[in-house]
Amino acid sequence: MTATDAGAGASDSGADPLFDESNPSFQNLATHPPEWADTLARERLERARDRERIDETRATTRAEDAAFDAALDLAVAPWPTPLGEAAFYGMAGEHVECIARNSEADPAALLTQELVAFGAVVGDGPYYEVEADRHPARLFAVVVGETANARKGTSAGIVRRRYERAQRPVTMKSGLSSGEGLIWCVRDPITKRDRNKRTGEIEEHLADDGVEDKRLLVVEGEFSHALRVVGREHNTLAAVIREAWDRGALSTLTKNSPAKATGAHLCIIGHITPEELRRDLDRTDAASGFGNRFLWVGAKRSKLLPDGGSLDESSLGQMADELAQAVDAAKARPGPWRRDEAARELWHAVYPGLSGGRPGLLGAVTSRAPAQVTRLGLAYALLDAHRTGSDARLIERPHLEAALEVWRYCFDSARHIFGDAIGDPKADEALAHIRAAGRQGITRTDLGTALFGRQNVSRERLARALRPLLDYRLAQRGRTPGNGAGRPPEVWIATGITPSIPFVPFSSLTERLTDRERVKGV
């Protein structure tokens, strides 16, 4: 038997008997041919090198896995800073602070749903006009928190109870399933034209009385169901919700659905978990045309109350009375509202930041910041109308400051939920690998292997995965000197990271590879 055959049967986990110096055969080399000792030594050295390579590979794999996991963790933005004092301005803030002392619900969830509900009750009479668009206090908000622990339903129940006590009701529905169904809840009268059998003439008659009160508050406890519906082919829910937020004139081109609605005033409150939101929103066109109509509100349980919270009847009665006054005063001031001079000055200062685009899914769901802040500011001003003692229809600086703080919290909530996610699974995975590579960067070849499991990936396929990172300026690409005289490898490094290697970024996406000497001279 040769030394090679003997070594092949040895276990990697223990010493090979053939190479064991205590083995008599090993000690008595004189009994073997002279070349046997050389063969044995080479075999022993090769086995030792194999073990070293295996150990190095395992260590490298563990390090890469740890770095990748760390990059994923770093990609998650922190939980938003609690709402600042500015958000609790006026009656809404006072009521929420009173309720929050006796409730496990998150104050941010309480406040946001209060603003949405108040806007629904008041209707679209008061509005702020931007060019040809009218912005009433029509708000959509989704409370995002873990099941049970976030107390999402608790916060909605508290808000509903106060409006019932104030005797200022609004029609409430749930069960978003189709655009046609939503239109039916606020439909106009439906007329039909039939031929009179006796006279042969075409006559028009009323087939349905329609809905007189066009105010509607949709409270969707399982908003994930609505997102799944939006993702279905040919479903009209997303388009109708967009129109409901924009202008309140609702219709579809469905032949068998003659209902339409004009002057509709819909507000929406939804509840969902972060996992459901990330899973269902980025796989539909909701990310661009649907998601930016909503305020995304992160919610956690604010405190532990083993016996449950309770609000005494006296406090509830006082809040209900003032709420009724606020609703009546706001509805008595229809027409256009405007910002006072101090609010205009602040608006001019913050508008460029609100209008700036953001990359990825985060940018898609927060791209209507100016309109959202405008509507929030109007809601705060309407809540304050009964205290001003004036018929002036003014949004003052404190109202705008409160709106900006609520928007700040909603934006930070969206950033925590969506992070830098682009919405393209391969692009998001590529970004994670690039960040995990740190200051060393990662070559385009290695990216192809990491994303698709092989090196020979078509240029077009890899470009589709990597191009969004350049478009959103999340990564940069360039060249670094190679080991030999060949073309220097292309390396990708995350934006904001200082390379620890010689690195020359491409000046443009179409830069030619004619500057090899310049790269080598770095």
Domain ranges of the chain: 82-418, 424-520
| pLDDT value of residue 295 | 97
Determine contact, residues 209/85, Cβ cutoff 8 Å: no
Backbone angles phi, psi at 496, to 5 degrees: 95, -5
Report how far residue 520's alpha carbon sits from residue 481's, in angstroms, rounded to the nearest whole number: 5
Domain 424-520 has CATH 1.10.10.10: yes
| pLDDT value of residue 368 | 94
Residue 206 CA, distance from chain mean position: 45
Per-run averaged pLDDT (10 residues), the chain, 522 residues: 43 48 54 68 80 72 55 64 96 91 87 96 96 95 79 65 85 91 94 84 87 95 90 86 93 78 96 89 65 94 63 83 95 96 97 84 89 98 89 94 98 87 81 90 90 81 87 85 70 88 69 38 34
Q: Which of 387, 384, 404 is nearest to 395 (CA)?
A: 384
Alpha helix positions (H), 125-254: 152-166, 179-184, 223-230, 237-246
Distance from the first to the final alpha carbon of the chain: 57
Alpha helix positions (H), 264-359: 274-281, 286-289, 313-331, 341-355
Determine contact, residues 187/210, Cβ cutoff 8 Å: yes
| pLDDT value of residue 512 | 38
Radius of gyration of the chain measured on its C-alpha atoms: 33
CA atoms 71, 76, 82, 88: torsion sign:
positive
| pLDDT value of residue 339 | 97
Q: Collapsing DSSP states into helix, strand and coil, what is residue 395? A: strand
| pLDDT value of residue 292 | 93
Determine contact, residues 229/178, Cβ cutoff 8 Å: yes
Report how far residue 267's alpha carbon sits from residue 215's, in angstroms, rounded to the nearest whole number: 8
- Residues whose CB falls within 8 Å of the CB of residue 505, separated by 6 or more in sequence, listed in order: 476, 477, 478
Topology adopted by domain 82-418: Rossmann fold (3.40.50)
pTM value > 0.85: no
| pLDDT value of residue 213 | 94
Determine contact, residues 409/164, Cβ cutoff 8 Å: no
| pLDDT value of residue 155 | 63
Q: Which of 469, 482, 480 is nearest to 509 (CA)?
A: 469
| pLDDT value of residue 306 | 56
Determine contact, residues 293/366, Cβ cutoff 8 Å: no
Backbone angles phi, psi at 294, to 5 degrees: -110, 150
